[in-house]
Amino acid sequence: MTGDQHTEHISNGQRVSRHSLPTLQYYLFSPPHIFFNSILTSRTFSTFGFARHTNQRFAKPKELNFPTHRKNFLERHTLAFHASTFVAEIRNIESMQTNNLTLSPTTDRPFELAKTSAKMTISEVFAERKGSYLNEFTLFVAHFNSIPNFIHEVDIDCKKATNWFAENYKSEIKDLYYDKRYFNRSKKAEIDDIFYFLYDDLIVDFDTNCSTVRFLYRKTELSKVEEIVNAIHKFKKRKQKQKPEISLLVNSMSGIETKSLQITKPKLSIEDNYNEDFKEIHRTILKRLSRKNDKGLVLLHGKPGTGKTSYIRYLIASLKKDVIFLPPNMASAITNPSLISILIDNPNSVFVIEDAENIVVDREKDGSSPVSALLNISDGLLADCLNVQIICSFNTDISKIDSALMRKGRLIAKYEFKELEIEKAQQLSNKLGFDTNINSPMTLTSIYNQDEKDFQQSRKTNPIGFQAINNNRLAEN
């Protein structure tokens, strides 16, 4: 029975034998819910249903009653499996040419996946791979049924490296898999991952999107692997001056993760935008945060619009350290164990917590306050290992802050941002091109946006009691 006939029989609900097609092709041509249901109903669940075969005929199973969002999630992953199996089992007779790179295997069927993939449960020791349709570790286990040694090289120009590798090792390449994707909304799909198989059991994965080359092997001689690794070094990318970035903490299905975001350094003059007493504080903060393997806490507080966020953005762009940003909506994550794991992976970094009222309030006033976690990160035993410095900004009055945060040795600096004094406010206003005559202290927001309409509504109060009587008498007179 052909693959097309097989698909037609299943879609019509007819009975089809498992043995009418090779095992992997059976699942390849099955609709997603057939494949996944067969896993769930299999007596060999967690082995992808490949381990045991029977003579009983296989009928279309009833679709399980998953919630809609869960079913969609499962079917997306099942479709990804179908796509990878298709690349593994179905080959075009003619070679495919992409960017002058030959993407065809040198032999017809170099691996017997039906045999090796029967023990896929061993792959559970590896985490999921994000951003690719194949997990290189699972791929190795599926082909060689063993746990590989692993080497990876970063910052590699994979396009040039792939062309070099395909040309110099074409006689050794036994097989390959690849995927093409659209990057940055481009109109043309480009190759992302290419998995080459060569020697006894060497897999070389060129990951273009991540600029990484991975080597997985077990029996292959180390000298052969190192020969390729050393040659790949000549394709290292030169480090370019990058725009400042922050690692934004976000919630995902697998827990807390980081997303890199570029920020623009503001054209900010400390001299013009802040009061005279801030100069020395700024020098202290910049000096300490620029120091390697240091710890400590910076507390920045004050009214909204006084320049706290602008200063933090300026500070981040001035530092040569990794910056991790905790947004206000994730304040509770300060006590999450996953956060510690992220900080461990990013030692010697700066941890910014904006609008930190819910974190720094006095523990005696709020028993659920996560101050203890903050203390451990900034000055506890954990701080000696992490070397993470913390910046907290908040609008709350400093008297409400836990006194433990302001002990000497723990606190790098604290500063209250206030309205710009009259003289400095007038100077800044003049520099910005305004003709306003300033006669009282002003916030930075008010100075910079003098030509914008004020949409704040004044509060109307209804007088009561003696105040209402007095107002009526004044109106009568």
Can you tell me the distance from the alpha carbon of 150 to that of 94, in angstroms, rounded to the nearest whole number? 33
pLDDT band at residue 162, thresholds of 50, 70 and 90? Answer: very high
Compute the average pLDDT of residues 229-244: 83
Euclidean distance between the first and final Cα of the chain, in Å?
A: 104
Instruction: Determine the pLDDT at residue 122.
Output: 52
Cβ neighbors of 309 (< 8 A, separation 6 or more) are: 354, 393
Cβ neighbors of 86 (< 8 A, separation 6 or more) are: 28
Can you tell me the distance from the alpha carbon of 385 to that of 293, in angstroms, rounded to the nearest whole number? 9
Q: Which pLDDT tens digit goes with each residue over 323-360?
A: 999 988 888 788 888 888 888 888 899 999 988 887 88
pTM, two decimals, is: 0.52
Instruction: Determine the pLDDT at residue 243.
Output: 73
Q: What percent of the chain has pLDDT above 70? A: 65
pLDDT band at residue 370, thresholds of 50, 70 and 90? Answer: confident
Lowest model confidence (mean pLDDT) among 52-56, 213-217, 296-300, 342-346? 52-56
What DSSP letter does each residue of 81-96 carry, written as one string?
Answer: HHHHHHHHH---SSPP
pLDDT band at residue 406, thresholds of 50, 70 and 90? Answer: confident
pLDDT band at residue 409, thresholds of 50, 70 and 90? Answer: confident
For residues 448 and 362, the model is more confident at 448
Cβ neighbors of 135 (< 8 A, separation 6 or more) are: 123, 126, 128, 129
Lowest model confidence (mean pLDDT) among 102-116, 380-394, 400-414? 102-116
Kindly tell me if the per-residue pLDDT of 239 is higher than 80.
Answer: no
pLDDT band at residue 114, thresholds of 50, 70 and 90? Answer: low
Compute the average pLDDT of residues 108-137: 64
Compute the average pLDDT of residues 136-148: 87
Instruction: Determine the pLDDT at residue 304.
Output: 92
Compute the average pLDDT of residues 109-130: 60
Q: Which pLDDT tens digit goes with each residue over 187-220?
A: 888 888 899 999 999 999 999 888 999 999 999 9
Kindly tell me if the per-residue pLDDT of 401 is higher than 80.
Answer: yes
pLDDT band at residue 363, thresholds of 50, 70 and 90? Answer: low
Q: Which pLDDT tens digit goes with each residue over 7-32?
A: 444 444 444 444 444 444 444 344 44
Arithmetic mean of pLDDT over the chain = 75
Compute the average pLDDT of residues 249-265: 86
Sign of the Cα pseudo-torsion (221, 224, 227, 232, in order):
negative
Angle formed by the axes of helices 68-89 and 32-41, to 10°?
A: 100
Distances in Å between the Cα of 251 and the Cα atoms of 39, 248, 289, 336, 356 are 29, 10, 27, 11, 18
Domains of the chain, first to last: 1-90 (no CATH), 94-240 (no CATH), 245-417 (3.40.50.300)
Instruction: Determine the pLDDT at residue 196.
Output: 95
